[in-house]
Amino acid sequence: MGKIITNVKVYDLEESIVASGYAMINHYDESVAKTQAEVLRLEQLEGDLDGDKHYKRAMILTKAPLNSGHVSWAKGVVVNMDITFTNKAWIELQRYHFIDIITGMSTMHRIAKFDLNHVFNEYVDPHIIIHLKAIQKEYINNPTPENYLKLLYSTPSGVLMTGRVTTNYLQLMNIYSQRHNHRLPEWREFCQGLIDELPLFKELLIANGILKEEK
């Protein structure tokens, strides 16, 4: 199994950090807001954020509980990414309200075309795969509606599917807090992938107390 998180795009990180201070301004100036975001972006590239007042404020706000409203600025940081999960994990992911599936692979349309030697994780019993190959072959040779349904419903939950999702930092912080020690190894790998792929995500987890700072 390869990387779970790939093809990541992050939008409005710096703009949302600057916007975290809007509650305390007397006058809005678009050019000032854009300049502040650009300065923050350059400081991040240079690894010199500690002196930035907007970064400091966002980190202070992030110390609050995720459901308090003080961390709502993180909803503005939009993340689009491809995720490769088993069907089991995809079902669990759909419990979250603020992560939307853009599109994804489909057993409904392509199960007869899948290479069954390479579409399952390592925990699927090889005997099940052998049996499913026989069902797939039967459908290919005799594509009746009944044989199609037998193939579709016999596919185990360990089938790997890739989809693209859109979400935000606040939702991902909540997912991390609930799933980083999950019994399913793919959830643990997903949570580590968030730290590896998303700028400042680790720092936000530490600020919130979800993740302990390494000494």
pLDDT digits (tens, 9 = 90+) for 47-77: 889 889 999 999 999 999 999 999 999 999 9
Diameter of the chain measured on Cα atoms? 72
Average confidence (pLDDT) over 150-154: 97
What pLDDT, on the 0 to 100 scale, is given for residue 46? 87
Helix (H, G, I), strand (E, B) or coil at 129: helix
| pTM of the predicted structure, to 2 decimals | 0.93
What pLDDT, on the 0 to 100 scale, is given for residue 48? 87
What pLDDT, on the 0 to 100 scale, is given for residue 2? 80
What pLDDT, on the 0 to 100 scale, is given for residue 215? 66
Domain boundaries, the chain: 5-83+162-208
User: How far apart (Å, rounded) are the C-alpha atoms in residues 119 and 139?
Assistant: 18
User: How far apart (Å, rounded) are the C-alpha atoms in residues 134 and 128?
Assistant: 10
